[in-house]
Amino acid sequence: MTTRERAELLKLKGNQCFQKGKLNAAIDMYTEAIVLNPTQSTYYSNRALCHSKLEHWASCRDDCVQALKCDALNAKASYLLGSSHVHLRCFDEAFEAFRKALASAEKTSKSKAFQHEIVVELRRAKKTQWQYNQTVSITHHEAMKAQLAELFRAAQPPLAVPGGPGTAAGPELDALMAYMESLAVKHERDLYPGEIPEYFVCPVSMEIMVDPVTTPNGISYERKCLEEHLRKNGPVDPLTRKQLTFEMLRPNTSLRAAIQDFLEKNPWAFEH
């Protein structure tokens, strides 16, 4: 048996361990395979998947980087690299990895389901970044409000002594405090999301659409949701109850572009 054949046998044993949930044993098998054949990209990406299940994100990232050095079109490695970067709070790197994963998946003719999953994870990553930035911004905002309130209290003039000289500082401080409070209210309002346009939402799943299709009746649905309905319930429109077949569905490219633009500007809206 050649070295490469022994390495492949170890990979197969690793796959069996993975399927049984024996992740550490699978990692050992893939590691031995890598020692025998360090140029095989899938050994690294398989080990990276094990690390992701164990939430060992730095190790997952390192294996993905090595896998991509061996095969730049390893879509699975780019996908897992994106996931690891999200958990390590390296969001820009995550976006780049997911975009590369999608491009690689298209070039290597991976399934539409996998390509859809990559798009979904990219949207989730952008939402995670928005949530993380919101948390940081809100924490900073509340700390600044507390500091300002303390400064205003310290700057308040002492109570006037009857018959003594008056002071104009009180009204000026009150006006300044009111102005700062109005700025704080505006900032808090800007921190929170607005509304999602109703026509972006699938009328069946009630979630914002990723891959909208339109019917002859002019109603748009999420493709995956509508196709599942047609498989389960037969060729009938879920709303109008008129005849509807797979062949009658058409991609709503203009709506899809509008939704993508909206989500780029409002990442909070995904899976809202």
CATH of the domain at 216: 3.30.40.10
Is position 6 within any domain? no
Residues 6+ positions from 201 with CB-CB distance below 8 Å:
207, 208, 209
Percent of the chain with pLDDT over 70: 91
pLDDT, one tens digit per residue, over 233-261 is 999 999 999 999 999 999 999 999 999 99
Is position 230 within any domain? yes
On the CB side of 204, CA atoms within 13 Å amount to 19
What band does 195 get if pLDDT is binned at 50, 70 and 90?
Answer: confident
Where b means 16+ CB within 10 Å and e means fewer, 223-250 reads: bbbbeebbeeeeeebbeeeeebeeeebe
Strands 212-214 and 250-251: antiparallel
The structure tokens listed for 92 are 């820009």
Q: Is 162 exposed, middle or buried (0-12, 13-18, 19+ CB in 10 A)?
A: exposed
Beta bridge partners of 243: 236
pLDDT, one tens digit per residue, over 134-153 is 888 888 878 877 887 787 77
Is position 207 within any domain? yes
Its sign, for the CA torsion 106, 111, 115, 118, is negative
Is position 203 within any domain? yes
Of 116, 91, 120, 95, nearest to 105 (Cα)? 116
pLDDT, one tens digit per residue, over 35-74 is 999 999 999 999 999 999 999 999 999 999 999 999 999 9
The structure tokens listed for 244 are 């509807």
Task: Supply the pLDDT for residue 140.
Answer: 81
Is position 83 within any domain? no
Is position 186 within any domain? no
Is position 221 within any domain? yes
User: What stretches of 108-168 show up as alpha helix (H) in DSSP?
Assistant: 112-155
Domain count, the chain: 1
User: Is residue 83 within a helix (H) or strand (E), and if so which, with residue range?
Assistant: helix 75-87
How far, in Å, CA of 271 to CA of 226, rounded?
17
**Span of 68-77, 85-94, 166-175 with lowest mean pLDDT:** 166-175
The structure tokens listed for 50 are 């094990």
Is position 216 within any domain? yes
Which residues form the domain of 231? 198-256
How far, in Å, CA of 208 to CA of 196, rounded?
8
Range 20-37 average pLDDT: 98
DSSP at 68 = H
